[in-house]
Amino acid sequence: MLFLLFFPTGSRAMLPLLVLMLCVNTVLSAMTTDPTLDQHWELWKNRYSKTYNKTEEGWRRMVWEKNLKKIELHNLEHSMGKHSFTLGMNHFGDLTNEEFRQMMNGYKPRAEKKVKGSWFMKPNFLNVPSSVDWRESGYVTPVKYQGGCGSCWAFSATGAMEGQLYRMTGRLVSLSEQNLVDCSRPEGNEGCSGGWMDRAFQYVLDNGGLDSESSYPYMGVDMPCRYDPSYSVISLAGYADVVSGSEVSLMEAVGSVGPVSVAIDAGHTSFQFYQSGIYSEPDCSSLDLDHGVLVVGYGTAQSLLSDANYWIVKNSWGSSWGDNGYIYMSKDNDNNCGIATAASYPLI
């Protein structure tokens, strides 16, 4: 759309309006979308049940197209051997990276060492297996979805507790993230605004239990605490932290104990749209962590060129994200994305 304004010679009174119209024209010109993607856009909206008002849809369409171009470029570079993983369009496609990080990444930086916490001690004569996948042994519940609540810390914590409960009893019981979101503020967590896995373990320790998922279902919003001890299925004796920054110690803990809670730097567009392969992000930080996840194993992928070690990581963004809800993160790669910086697990 072009605005043509005519002024008398020497007139200055209308110059501000001219500048305004030129700015509007620039914005409107930038808001054009690619008509060849119309069908693709409609299919994507239908798949993820996306609805917008007329004003919002134009903006979301532009964000989606920009993300799609980034994905296509990355995958082209992957086909040329420049990346070890692929990206794919998912339900975060209409979010800018800033919006995505604010909505989904709720891990808070680790607080000071707690009195009741302990340190992981490598068992005597431990022979760490070269590969482990605790999913195959029944330790891991199906992938869950945190929704728009910054409760990743709660899902990471329940995943670690579910694994330890199975290890001790042989029963795999889905535990309540909502119980943690609603009730662990006295321990320092902030519900949907974020939290710590250690603080979640501390709550269960202080509280004397945690309800099951079926008795205290996930709502994805902050609500009043409704813990009922009659539905509690687990109690803790404490929790242990893994030596910070040591992937060897993390491997020993995962290999001997079971799934371990970890915090990572997940704030990059490459993580937002991860789809398959071994994730290695050169821009990742090993200190600025923003997302809680669960390491459920590790292994080595063989290729024609080399062998690549990886961590098997369970996320809480639903099974339509990543590799059926999982991401395979680079292992023994200088603590890439901080995966070994803040690892811990509960003690039963």
User: Dihedral sign, CA of 300, 91, 261, 267?
Assistant: positive
CB 195 within 8 A of CB 182: no
Quick one: pLDDT at residue 13?
42
Is 4 strand, coil or helix?
A: coil
Residue 25 tokens read as 């024209």
- Please provide the average confidence, as pLDDT, over all residues in the chain: 89
Residue 184 tokens read as 């662990």
For residue 124, what is the DSSP state? T
Q: What's the CA gap between 248 and 51, in Å, rounded?
A: 47
Other beta carbons within 10 angstroms of residue 77's beta carbon come to 11
Which residues are identified as catalytic? 152, 291, 315
Hunting for tokens 């980034």 — which residue is that? 70
Q: What is the pTM assigned to this prediction?
A: 0.88
- pLDDT tens series, the chain, 348 aa: 433 333 344 444 444 434 443 443 344 335 588 999 999 999 999 999 999 998 899 999 999 999 999 999 999 999 999 999 999 999 999 999 999 999 899 887 755 544 456 888 777 778 899 999 999 999 999 999 999 999 999 999 999 999 999 999 999 999 999 999 999 999 999 999 999 999 999 999 999 999 999 999 999 999 999 999 999 999 999 999 999 999 999 999 999 999 999 999 999 999 999 999 999 999 999 999 999 999 999 999 976 445 799 999 999 999 999 999 999 999 999 999 999 999 999 999
CB 262 within 8 A of CB 340: yes
Phi, psi (rounded to 5 degrees) for 32 = -75, 145
CATH top class, domain 97-347: alpha beta
pLDDT in tens, 203-259: 999 999 999 999 999 999 999 999 999 999 999 999 999 999 999 999 999 999 999
- The domain ranges of the chain are 97-347
pLDDT in tens, 293-319: 999 999 999 764 457 999 999 999 999
